[in-house]
Amino acid sequence: MNSGTINKPTQWFVGVVSVVVPLLVAYLLYADLGLAADKGWVYSLPGLNAVINSATAIILILGLYFIKKGDIAKHKTMMLSALALGVIFLVSYIIYHSSVSSTAYGGQGAIRYIYYFLLISHILLSIVEVPLVLLGLIYAFTKRYEKHKRIVRWAYPVWLYVSVTGVIVYLMISPYYSF
């Protein structure tokens, strides 16, 4: 493999995943697929997702700490842990949103604008995050560390922002849940 480019199958994989994941999530926001016949347990998923986002943010910070210390093995463990939590989050998010109607935000005044700014930036950057994280992972595993460093300069702050704003959005909307 040429050190300067990603091969065509990998480019296709990143491209397809980067398009399919957001489209699937968007579709499932409006589709009641009945994934949860007994919806009682589903109502705990937003809180679980906030815990997952919190843990992801902590793990991302630890990953940065370990790479700054030169501990590549621990950095790799943290990054793969954050990725695993991201996959668990996505499954949980899809189950919840395909089983329960969306909750309307009830805040008024300036806080409403803050909420929607955080929500919209969170959603848009979560879409951007997918290819950035995948490329960062691919570059790391193919030992193209200069390319890895260049992409994670963008991927890391986006991923951290998405994780932190996910928790903030949850805390802001949770008083309006009507389970």
Instruction: Give the domain CATH number at 137.
Output: 1.20.120.80
Top pLDDT among 22 and 165 is at 165
What's the structural domain count of the chain?
Answer: 1
Which range (42-51, 53-62, 87-96) has the least confidence? 87-96
pLDDT of 82 higher than 70: yes
| Domain contains 18 | no
Range of the domain at 139: 38-176
Residue percentage of the chain with pLDDT more than 90: 67
Mean pLDDT of 86-111: 89
pLDDT by residue (tens digit) across 104-162?
Answer: 999 999 999 999 999 999 999 999 999 999 999 999 999 999 999 999 999 999 999 99
**Which pLDDT score is estimated for 4?**
57
Residue percentage of the chain with pLDDT more than 70: 92
Contact 7, 1 (CB under 8 A): yes
pLDDT of 93 higher than 60: yes
| Domain contains 170 | yes
| Domain contains 33 | no
| Domain contains 11 | no
Mean pLDDT of 69-80: 97
pLDDT by residue (tens digit) across 15-33?
Answer: 998 998 888 888 877 766 6
Tokens of 168: 């903030």
| Domain contains 13 | no
Mean pLDDT of 90-108: 87
pLDDT of 84 higher than 90: yes
Top pLDDT among 172 and 29 is at 172
Q: Please, what is the average pLDDT of the chain? A: 90
| Domain contains 124 | yes
- C-alpha span between 154 and 148 (Å, rounded): 10
Give the global pTM.
Answer: 0.88
DSSP string, 5-60: S--HHHHHHHHHHHHHHHHHHHHHHH------SSTTGGGGHHHHHHHHHHHHHHHH
| Domain contains 66 | yes
